[in-house]
Each structure stands twice: as structure tokens, then as C-alpha cells.
Structure 1
Amino acid sequence: MAATDPDVDPDALLDRLIAADVVDEADDGELTATTEFESAHAVYRDSYLELGDEEFRRSVADVFDIDGAEAADRIEELGVTRAELAAYLTLQSFLEEPPGAVELATMAAMVVEVAPPSPVPDGQRELEDEDYEAFLAEHERAVVFVWKRDCVPCERMKDDLDELLAELPEDHAVAGVDGGAVGAFRREFEITAAPTTLRFADGELVARAEGRLRADGFADLLERAFGEN
């Protein structure tokens, strides 16, 4: 779907994505999708990423008002993907004044390459598959939260996070993981839900709780782990 029109200026389109709060640019130049855009994007991804081939061709034909044969040609020649179609439709609905089809297709291809926002709260150390073992080995006692994007219980639990952490002894390290990005972590600790709260001692999992926790539930988790707060 990426445009080949030489008149299309990718830098100008990126500036527009940033101005429209589709994309955030960090001081180091790293780009991430905004939470607001990603929430809208998730709806289209859920609808379009699993389309069968015939449904996909029909969707492309409908979106660009072309017949099925031309849609099949575009998919083949331009390498149109389901992810790009989902991003295109999200941008079309998200932008107050969407540009023309060529520019919008270019923007969609750019958005697909941008990382989604992490669900790990600001200020909480984020672990990845490459470093969680070192983190657990480094800290005698630790709590790790498993978060997920587009997760209502996660967002509600984050609202209570300061109150929860007030229950935590000072000798505990705290970190979080993006449950959608840490396959090895999920497999090792059999994570099947978000949010999930894990308490570790000497690198070993000693207590866990699935679902939203409030302060009293978090205190219960601490009690179950060691018999003391």
C-alpha cells in the first residue's frame, strides 16, 4: 500500500501524524503510537487481521471503490497487507481531515512500522525476555506486574497502583512487563491473563494473583507469600 508517487513527502506526512496525535516522537527520535490512536487501531486490527483471502480482496475493493480483479492485482503488485488496511481505515476515521488515498496509504504503511505504546506505567521499570532473568537474580525480593494494551482491568488497576505499592516493603524491587511482547516470560510463569501480579523471592515465584487487585488484595498476596507484609 506504500505510495510510489514522487510527490509524496514522507517527512511531511510524519509531521502530520505527530501533529494529529497519532504518533509520539521521543527526544531520541524513537516513534511510538499514541494511546488514543492505538485504542482506535485495536478495533480495526481485531476486525481485519484475521480476514480470509476472499474477504480481504473484497474489503480492499470496497475501500478503494474498485472491482475484485483490480483489488487482487493491487494486493499482489503493491504487497498490500491486512495490517496496512487496518491502519488505513483507522487513520481515515481518526484524522479530522484525512488526505487523499495515496498519502493516506503512505501514512498507513508508516503507522504499521511504529511501535505501539507500552502498557507498562510510566516510571515502572519494563522488563523484556532478554533481561527479566537478570532482574530476578539481582533482586532478592521483587514484584512484577503483567500488563496488556486495551485491557480495562489493567487500566483500573493502574489507577490504584500508588495505593497498592504503599503496601510493599521497601526491600522489594518493582517492574512490569508488556504481556503481549514477552513470550518467554509468559511461558516460564504460565501467564494466561492480564493483569497478573507475581511476587518473587530469590528468583523463585512464591505467589501470584490474576485479575485486578486492590490494596487489600495486594496485601493478601504479600501475606500468602511470606506470612508477613
Structure 2
Amino acid sequence: MQELTDATDRYDFLLEHGVFEETDDGQVAVTESFDAAKRVYHDTYAEVDDATFQETIADLFELSIAQARDRIDSLGITRSQLIAYLTLQSYLDDQDVTVDGNDLVVMAGMVADVAPVSPVPDEMVELTDDDYESFLASNPDTVIFVWKLHCEPCEAMKTELDQVRAHIPDGVAVAGVDGESVNAFRREFEVSAAPATMAFVGGELYETLESRRKPERLAELFDEAY
């Protein structure tokens, strides 16, 4: 069992075992592989009712339901923390790594609110629900790409992105969004899949092509739109 004495030890441990990664701009993110594992537990526990949540905490820590309820209330345990705990436990088990139970709880708290690296390529302006409207107002002719983590077609399309961008006329802005974090954007423009390529003309959506498209097909879209 590995002993972790302080927050620095725990942080280094999470880096060493592929839970955290440090980005080029000095930020910390969970790795894509950890996030993929986390999604399984998120789908199961993110929206469970209170009774199931309490039962799960009781089973994990060998508590009665009443004790679990008190623990949840007194410590402010969230479903996000539960998901992080279960993911971390499973992720380390797969590596045959054992840590003290208290360390696991503390590290789950460290992991719970850390997001993965964005799927939007580094060289592309990333838009959010807070700024896409102002961006379109300033850049009425814009191509926006919708990306997603753990998306093989997205990764395949990125390998051809230089060819795609070569077909975008001068004066047309280019941006990207993380499809899973822009709910308002997706609702407004009825985007339901990633990757997707969206051509805006005069600030209005001209056309959306969902799924991976070859550079030649996207060149046709850009010629028609601009």
C-alpha cells in the first residue's frame, strides 16, 4: 500500500497514475482515459434518487442508512464526488495499486471537479455558451466545428483539418466548441452529433453537416456558403 503524507504527494500520485495531466498552459485536467472510465459511473449515478445515493454511500463505507444520511449532510457529499470515488477506486484497481481508504476519499475530492482537456484543437478559438453570441456578432461569417471527447470520427477528422481549413476563404473566422459543454448552443442550432461543421453567413446559420465529412465535401459547403 502506497503511503501519501500530504496534498503534494497525492497530486504527484494522481499525475503518476494517469489520472491528472498538466496542460501546456499550466492548467490541470483529468486524462482522457480517466474521463472515459468516469463516464460509466456518471451514467449510472449522476441522477440517482436520494434513497439510492444514500444506500450506495452506506454500502461503500459500511454504514447504516441513517449514518450515511448524516455523513452526506455533515460533509456535503455530492454525486459528483461519489462518481469520482468509484472511478478512482476502479481505475487504480486496474493498475493493481492500493491506497489507504482516507487517501482515496481525499483524492476523489481533488478529482471530482477537474475537467478533462478540451477536444477543441489548440490552434482553434474555443467558444462557450457565454461567448458564442458575441463572437458571431463580431464575426458574422464563421465556420464552427463541434467536437467531442472519446469520439473516433472526431479524431479522424482532425487529421484532415489542415486540408479542411485550406478551403475556408480568407475573412471567414474559424472556431470550435466542446459539444458536451455547450448545451445552449446545441439547443439553439439543433446540433445533435459530433463532429459537425457549421457554416454561418451574416451571423445566421447557413447549414450544418453532422458526422465526419471529407475535405472535398466541406469545400463544397464553403463554396456554396461564401
| Bin for the TM-score computed over the shorter chain | 0.7 to 0.9
- Indicate which of 49, 62, 86 corresponds to 2:46: 49
Cα separation, partners in 2 of 1:108 and 1:207, compared to 1, 3 Å: same
Residue 67 of structure 2 corresponds to 70
Deviations 1:68-105 (A, max 9, x none): 33323322222222111111111112223131111111
Contact 1:98–1:104 (8 Å) recurs in 2: no
Structural mapping, 1:160-171, within 5 Å = 160-171=160-171
Match of 2:77 among 60, 80, 89: 80
Q: Does 1:225 align with 2:222?
A: no
Name 1:21's counterpart in structure 2: 18
Q: Mapping of 1:20-169 within 5 angstroms?
A: 20-26=17-23, 29-95=26-92, 96=95, 97-139=97-139, 141-169=141-169
Q: What's 2:189 paired with?
A: 189
Give the corresponding residue for 1:3.
none
Q: Shift of residue 29 of structure 1? A: 4.3
- Give the CA deviation at 1:8: 5.7
Contact 2:32–2:150 (CA under 8 A) maintained in structure 1: no
CA RMSD of aligned residues (A): 2.4
Question: Partners of 1:174 and 1:216 in 2: how far apart?
Answer: 18
Task: For 1:47 and 1:140, locate their aligned partners in 2 and report how far apart those are by CA, in whole Å.
Answer: 41
- Paired position in structure 1 for 2:172: 172
Per-residue Cα deviation, 1:21-74 (whole angstroms, up to 9, x for no partner): 211234664221111211111111111112222222222222223343332332
**Identity between Structure 1 and Structure 2 (%):** 47
Aligned-residue offset at 1:208:
1.4
What is the total number of aligned residue pairs between the two structures? Answer: 220
- CA–CA distance in 2 between the matches of 1:83 and 1:216? 43
Using structure 1 for the length normalisation, give the TM-score.
Answer: 0.83
Shift of residue 144, structure 1, vs aligned partner: 0.5
Letter in 2 for 1:146: V
Instruction: Return the alpha-carbon distance in structure 2 between the equivalents of residues 126 and 180 of structure 1.
Output: 13
TM-score of the pair, normalised by structure 2: 0.84
| 8 Å contact kept, 1:143–1:172 | yes
Contact 1:208–1:221 (CA under 8 A) maintained in structure 2: no
Mark the runs of 5 or more structure 2 residues left unpaired by the alignment. Answer: none
Paired AA for residue 192 in structure 2: T
Task: Name structure 1 gaps, 5 residues minimum.
Answer: 1-6
Partner of 2:202: 202
1:169-226 deviation digits (Å, cap 9, x = unpaired) = 3443221011222234334323233222111223222221122222233233224424
Partner of 1:4: none
Task: Name the CA distance, whole Å, in 2 between partners of 1:52 and 1:113.
Answer: 21
Aligned partners of 2:81 and 2:112 also within 8 Å: yes
